[in-house]
A and B are shown apart, each in its own frame.
Chain A
Amino acid sequence: MGTADISKVTKEELSRMMVGRDVQLQVEKEPAKPGEVVLDVQGVTMHNAAHKKDSVKNVSFQVHAGEIVCLAGIEGNGQTEFVYGLTGLEKLSAGRLTLCGQDITSASIRQRSKDGMSHIPEDRHKHGLVLDYTLEENMVLQRYWQPEFQNHGFIRKDKVREYSDRLIEQYDVRSGQGSLTIARSMSGGNQQKAIIAREIDRDPKLLVAVQPTRGLDVGAIEYIHRQIVAQRDAGKAVLLVSLELDEVMNLSDRILVMYEGEIVGEFDPKKTTVQELGLYMAGARRQGKGE
């Protein structure tokens, strides 16, 4: 398609050459209208027994309704552990978590889910799906126990099918045999779409999305970004954890940079640059301690 000098070419030019059309790297969105505090994180610390050190150190921040807060950082700086602690997969060693005024510090995973937390997990094969279950069984993974889908402990298969068919239709999840497709046989993008459909459709107050577009093609990424922005516009609080700087810059209303388990800076994506974020992510700079 062409040859370009590395020192002169821009990312936009390079994308155009690779894809063959102008790529919309920017996500279209209105300015955020933050509401009440949905998630309040106070002094969260987590200890990693294997490495004998704290993987998350005294992290505090808030997420408001109607805003996307992004936790940015290079992989392995405590984001994964923090999300485990937030969602209840692991215990905190110190700190307090409050969701909509309710203390969920030591609540069970199920309780957090009942209180309005949805979680798009980092690893869709490890946490997000039971790969050998059918699509419909995966669609109710977080809800099978609700009265809508069970009656005295017996699963109401007709309701599950109805619900799953609706999600597939509404969120455009493509698969060979619809609700009866084994999740393992689906493409990565459609697996992720199924998870997103499941987590968004629960109408959460807080959506925790961890690397929601990892390993997906451009079309799926655009779709997922639009869904996340739509959630924000519907007044949900969104906590996005991402390693992709473009995603961080495009999607978020507020950026928190995490380095070695600590939050080292808070930024407005409109007033910062990728270069500045990069310096903070690499630990070369930090706010509050003077430069």
Chain B
Amino acid sequence: MKKNKLSRAGLQGSLVGVLAALLCILIGLLCGYLVLLAINPAHAWSDGFVRILKGGFYDAPYGVGKMLANAAPLVMTGLSVAFAFKTGLFNIGAAGQYTLGAFGALYCAIVLHLPWFVCLLAATVMGGIWGAIPGVFKAYLNINEVITSIMFNWIGLFLVNEIVYGNGSGVMYDSRNTRTWNLRKTAGCEGSVIPDFGLNDLFQTNSTTIAIFLAIVVAIVIWVVLEKTTFGYELKAVGLNKNAARYAGINEKKNIILSMVIAGALAGFGAGLYYLSGVSEWNPLNSTSLPAMGFNGISVALLASSNPIGTVFSAIFISHITVGGSFLSTKYYPTEIADLISGIIIYLCAFSMLFRGKIRGLLFAGKRADKANANAETAPAAVKKEGK
């Protein structure tokens, strides 16, 4: 009976978390609708709000395929940030690690013509290396990982752009399209594209591959590592209290670096999923902005309150409304409206602790009274014991 009660407490926690996230989403959507009304009241409902809500389903199955293709890398960058959060680090460098991952994947595909899983591995390794650098700085010199990873975002971006572009004659650069070579249309690169097992036919797209399933598998693996293993126990202990971890004989420096390596590897893997699916090609001329996928990862992680499984759902949701936003008629609304809504939702996530408290109060108010009584009962027993 005791066990039953304990597991219920854990379940309550998850339920409250999900409800709080849903509340954030609901209020965010409402605010979005108000903005739509303000911009163009006549079309706000059917041409605006409903299209965003429908997301990919507005133009099914093509839209759904597109949504899934975009969700896969988003799951990974979200996991990257969430994993770091769980281990006490803020990985704002997911964008840079993603950039390096993209380079690793594309180099192995276009130059070395390697099979897709090797390219994916290369992306993971490159991302991991780029994550390791801030990790080393943090572990040995106690330099805040936020500062180093922001700088390494830009270092990575310019480095990759410089190599890819190569003054217009880089081997990976297709000067006609001002992007890297299209993997599907370039001789020798076909084997580097992640297989789709008929998903492209199903969704009538050309970039829906098994990437989303790979991302989901990785999310489950990360959840297992964090929750079920001694390695995850150590990582979280270091994140929550570095000194206590050290006291317990855990090598905190090694664990900080490993955390960042894994976070980086996850982001790099995400880039591999994106570019090896051929969703788009790398544009080295777009040198002033980091890939948005990296920063959206932060939103995804926040919305999921850093739960690896929750990351899958929040990434799919963010991808859903982003695709929905792209279906908005530009006659009436800018496509950025979807970003605006997801922005509001993320902003509200900051209040999620408040929502959690309120929801818990509403749902479990009766039970809390019981608990207080239970506490009161122990006191007389304690007195008795001392009396003896």
Contacts and interface: CB of A to CB of B under 8 A. Distances in A.
A267 interface: no
Contacts of A111: 249
Contacts of B240: 130-133
Contacts of B246: 89, 109, 127
A155 B249 contact: no
B109 interface: no
B235 to A, nearest CB: 12
Interface of B: 2, 6, 9-10, 228-231, 233, 236-237, 240-241, 243-250, 371, 375, 378, 382, 385-386
B378 A128 contact: no
A144 interface: yes
A264 B2 CA distance: 55
Contact of A110 (B230, B243, B249): B249
Contact of A128 (B6, B236, B244, B250): B244
Interface in A72-131: 87, 89, 108-111, 113, 119, 121, 126-131
Contact of B228 (A137, A141, A154, A176): A154
Q: Nearest 5 A-B pairs (CB), nearest first?
A: A110-B249, A127-B247, A109-B249, A141-B248, A130-B241
Contact of A145 (B230, B241, B247): B230
B253 to A, nearest CB: 12
A285 interface: no
Contact of B229 (A113, A155, A178): A155
Contacts of B243: 126-127
26 contacts: A110-B249, A110-B250, A111-B249, A121-B247, A126-B243, A127-B244, A127-B246, A127-B247, A128-B247, A129-B244, A130-B241, A130-B244, A131-B240, A133-B236, A133-B240, A141-B248, A153-B230, A153-B231, A154-B228, A154-B230, A155-B229, A174-B378, A177-B6, A177-B9, A179-B6, A180-B6
Nearest to B224: A154
B254 to A, nearest CB: 12
A44 B236 CA distance: 34
A219 B228 contact: no
A254 B230 CA distance: 41
B9 A129 contact: no
A121 B382 CA distance: 27
Interface string A224-247: 000000000000000000000000
Q: Is the interface of B mostly helix, strand, loop or mixed?
A: helix
Interface string A135-146: 001000110110
A131 B243 CA distance: 11
B386 A144 contact: no
B386 A155 contact: no
Contacts of B382: 174
B247 A154 contact: no
B229 A153 contact: yes
B221 to A, nearest CB: 13
A178 B6 contact: yes
A180 B247 contact: no
B233 A180 contact: no
B172 to A, nearest CB: 40
Contacts of B2: 178
Interface centre among A141, A144, A157 (most CB of B within 10 A): A141
Given A155-B228, A155-B229, A219-B386, A131 B249 contact: no
A62 interface: no
Given A126-B244, A155-B230, A219-B386, 20 more contacts: A126-B241, A127-B243, A127-B247, A128-B244, A129-B241, A129-B244, A130-B240, A132-B241, A133-B240, A137-B233, A141-B237, A142-B249, A144-B230, A150-B230, A154-B229, A172-B385, A176-B371, A177-B9, A178-B6, A180-B10
B9 A180 contact: yes
A140 to B, nearest CB: 9
A160 to B, nearest CB: 10
A225 to B, nearest CB: 15
A130 B238 CA distance: 9
Nearest to B371: A176
Interface in A152-191: 153-155, 157, 172, 174, 176-180
A291 B228 CA distance: 63
A176 B375 contact: yes
Contacts of A89: 246-247
A118 B247 CA distance: 11
A131 B236 CA distance: 12
Contacts of A219: 386
Contact of B249 (A113, A126, A153, A176): A113
Interface centre among A109, A113, A157 (most CB of B within 10 A): A109
B230 to A, nearest CB: 5
Contacts of A121: 247
B66 to A, nearest CB: 38
Nearest to B7: A180
A219 B386 CA distance: 9
Contacts of B230: 144-145, 150, 153-155
B247 A155 contact: no
B233 A119 contact: no
Contacts of B386: 219
Contacts of A144: 230, 233
A180 B10 CA distance: 9
A63 to B, nearest CB: 21
Contacts of B10: 180
Nearest to A110: B249
A150 B250 CA distance: 16
